[in-house]
Amino acid sequence: MATRLPKKYAPSVEEPFMNAKQKEFFRRRLDNWR
């Protein structure tokens, strides 16, 4: 199950490293890059 992200989401140093939102953000970014 994918994590829901706001449209304007950007990873923050305030969040825990590689949390569910960050993993989903980078998964989508890599898919779009391909």
Q: What is the pLDDT of residues 5-33, one digit of tens each?
A: 999 999 999 999 999 999 999 999 999 99
Rounded to whole angstroms, how far apart are CA atoms 26 and 21?
9
User: 12 is written with which tokens?
Assistant: 């923050």
Rounded to whole angstroms, how far apart are CA atoms 1 and 14?
24
Place of tokens 């490293």: 17
State residue 27's pLDDT score: 95
State residue 2's pLDDT score: 72
State residue 24's pLDDT score: 96
Closest CA to 23 of 13, 11, 14: 11
State residue 3's pLDDT score: 85
User: 17 is written with which tokens?
Assistant: 């490293």
Q: Is the pTM of this model over 0.75?
A: yes
Q: Is residue 1 predicted with pLDDT exceeding 80?
A: no
CB atoms within 10 A of CB 10: 8
